[in-house]
Each structure stands twice: as C-alpha cells, then as structure tokens.
C-alpha cells in the first residue's frame, strides 16, 4: 500500500469521525427542541431548567467540532469535495448551536409562563415544533446521503412554520386587544413562536449548505419577510 493511499484512508476516517460528531450534535439539538416544548406544554419547571443547563455542552461541542474542522483544513489542505464537506460541517454546527439557543430561549419562556395562569391551550406552537423536528431529522438523512434534491424539498416546509407563526401572531394580538391583562402572557407566547420560526429558518440554512456540499452551488431560499439582522 502506497503512502498516498494510507494517508487517504486516514483522512477518510477523520472525515467519518467529523460526520459522526455533527450527527451527535444534531441529536442533542433535537432533544433540546423536544424538551423545551414539552416543558412549555406541561409547565415542567425542572425540565425547562435542564434544557437551559444542557445548552452549555452543546455550545462546547460546537466549538470543538469547529476546531477540528480548522485543523483538518490546515493539516490536510483538502480540495474540492473534501473542502466542501468540511466547510459545510462548520456551517451546520454553527446553525445547530443557534437552534439550541432558540430552544433554551423557549425553555426560559416556559419558566416565566409557569408563574402565570394559562392564556389558552397550546396547539399551534407544538405543531411548529413538530414540523421543525421533522425537518431536522430529514435534514440529517439528506446530509448522510448527499441528497441535494431532498435538502431542497425540506426548505419548502419552512413555509408551513411561517404560516403558523403568522396565525399565532394574529390570534395573540386579538387576545391583547380583548383584554390588556393578557398582554404579558401573550407576549411570552409570541416570543416562543418567533423562536420556533427561527429554528425552521436555521434548518433551511443547513439544507442550503448541504446543497452546496453536493453541488458546489449555494441557492438561497427567498422569503417574503424582513431580513433578521442577526442572520448570517
């Protein structure tokens, strides 16, 4: 076996380990979304606090994976497909860490809402969380199989979350108008809805990076709403 083939096998093992770490971070992030919404629906203060605590290891793992990516770029000097693989991993873990931040934000809102009587049954927010988690799991499949078509299809589901977010907004505004005493609780729910909408947006960003990984082209999904100044 030549030195070049041995080096290639070693590099492939490192890329596999990188992929596995991205998958682990994805699972941690998915769990954060699930538990945050569960804490809100069930008014589970201890679970909400755990989601906030668990955000720290997610942050740490994001930076560990990023450092590994930079090490691979510096030591292996990858080109073409390999470079796209590593760059995509960097973008994915950044988005995952921010998704987890949104989940932690929902958990903090759940803690605040737990001090108040329920404003209304929670129906649309759990639906938004369910769609987002389905998108995230499908995104993992597209990532593992290098499926740009599937990644593109997943981005279209973002519109479902956007419509639910608008529906929640209209409903909660009506609650505020009907009775000013509802403003505080309705505002918390609006924040929760916004966090879920942003989660779906960030999953869409991941899909766009998967398309780049496969094709070498970046195709941004156009959205008919103002650009968030925190997006990048």
Look at residue 217 in the predicted model and tell me its pLDDT: 87
**DSSP state for residue 115 in the 8-state scheme:** T
Instruction: Establish if 168 belongs to a structural domain.
Output: yes
What mean pLDDT, rounded, does the chain reach? 93
Residue 224 has pLDDT above 70, yes or no: no
Tokens of 16: 């596999």
What pLDDT score does 229 carry? 40
Contact present, 2 and 102 (Cβ < 8 Å): no
Instruction: Give the CB-side neighbour count of residue 176, counting CA atoms within 13 A.
Output: 14
Residue 98 covered by a domain: yes
How open is the CA angle 125-130-132, to the nearest 5 degrees?
A: 95
Look at phi and psi of residue 201 and say left if phi exceeds 0, alpha if psi is from -120 to 50, else beta. alpha
72 domain residue, yes or no: yes
204 in a domain, yes or no?
Answer: yes
* Angstrom distances, CA of residue 126 to CA of 42, 101, 164, 196, 211: 11, 18, 10, 9, 29
Single pTM value for the model: 0.91
pLDDT digits (tens, 9 = 90+) for 5-45: 788 888 989 999 999 999 999 999 999 999 999 999 999 99
What is the DSSP code (8-state) at residue 222? Answer: P
What are the pLDDT digits (tens) for 150-204? 999 999 999 999 999 999 999 999 999 999 999 999 999 999 999 999 999 999 9
Structural domain that includes position 99: 3-215
| Three-class HEC string of 140-198 | HHHHHHCCHHHHHHHHHCHHHHHHHHHHHHHHHHHHHHHCHHHHHHHHHHHHHHHHHHH
Residue 1: predicted pLDDT: 57
For residue 229, being part of any structural domain is answered with no
Out of 118-122, 129-133, 146-150, least confident range: 118-122
Residue 226 lies in a domain: no
Q: What local confidence, expressed as pLDDT, does residue 6 receive?
A: 84
pLDDT tens, 59-88? 999 999 999 999 999 999 898 999 999 999
CATH of the domain at 47: 1.20.58.220
Q: Which residues contact 38 (CB under 8 A, 6 or more apart)?
A: 44, 47
> What local confidence, expressed as pLDDT, does residue 218 receive?
78
From residue 43, alpha-carbon distances to 116, 187, 220 in Å are 10, 17, 37
Q: Which three-class secondary structure state does DSSP give residue 54? A: helix
| Rounded Cα–Cα distance for residues 129 and 196 (Å) | 6
Q: Give the DSSP letter string of 79-91.
A: -HHHHHHHHHHHH
Q: Which of 176, 184, 168, 198 is nearest to 106 (CA)?
A: 198
pLDDT at residue 228 is higher than 90: no
Q: pLDDT above 70 covers what percent of the chain?
A: 94
pLDDT higher than 70, residue 214: yes
Alpha-carbon gap, residue 193 to 202, rounded angstroms: 14
- 227-231: average pLDDT: 44
227 within some domain:
no
Indicate the number of domains in the chain: 1
Inter-CA distances, 144 with 22, 28, 37, Å: 10, 17, 27
User: Does residue 221 fall inside a structural domain?
Assistant: no
Mean pLDDT on 99-123:
94
């Amino acid at each position: 076996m030549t030195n070049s083939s041995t080096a290639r096998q070693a590099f492939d093992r490192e890329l596999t380990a990188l992929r596995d770490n991205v998958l682990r971070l994805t699972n941690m992030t998915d769990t954060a979304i699930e538990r945050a919404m569960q804490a809100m629906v069930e008014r589970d203060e201890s679970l909400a606090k755990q989601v906030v605590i668990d955000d720290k290891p997610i942050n740490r793992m994001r930076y560990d994976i990023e450092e590994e990516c930079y090490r691979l770029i510096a030591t292996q000097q990858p080109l073409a497909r390999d470079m796209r693989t590593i760059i995509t991993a960097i973008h994915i873990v950044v988005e995952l860490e921010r998704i987890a931040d949104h989940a932690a934000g929902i958990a903090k809102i759940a803690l605040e809402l737990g001090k108040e009587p329920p404003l209304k049954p929670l129906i649309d927010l759990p639906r938004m969380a369910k769609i987002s988690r389905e998108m995230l799991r499908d995104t993992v499949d597209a990532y593992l199989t290098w499926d740009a078509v599937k990644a593109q299809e997943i981005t279209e589901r973002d519109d479902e979350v956007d419509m639910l977010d608008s529906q929640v907004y209209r409903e909660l505004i009506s609650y505020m108008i009907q009775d000013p005493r509802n403003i505080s609780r309705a505002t918390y729910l609006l924040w929760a809805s916004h966090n879920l909408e942003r989660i779906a947006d960030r999953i869409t960003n991941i899909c766009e990076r998967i398309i780049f990984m496969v094709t070498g082209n970046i195709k941004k999904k156009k959205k008919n709403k103002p650009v968030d100044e925190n997006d990048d």
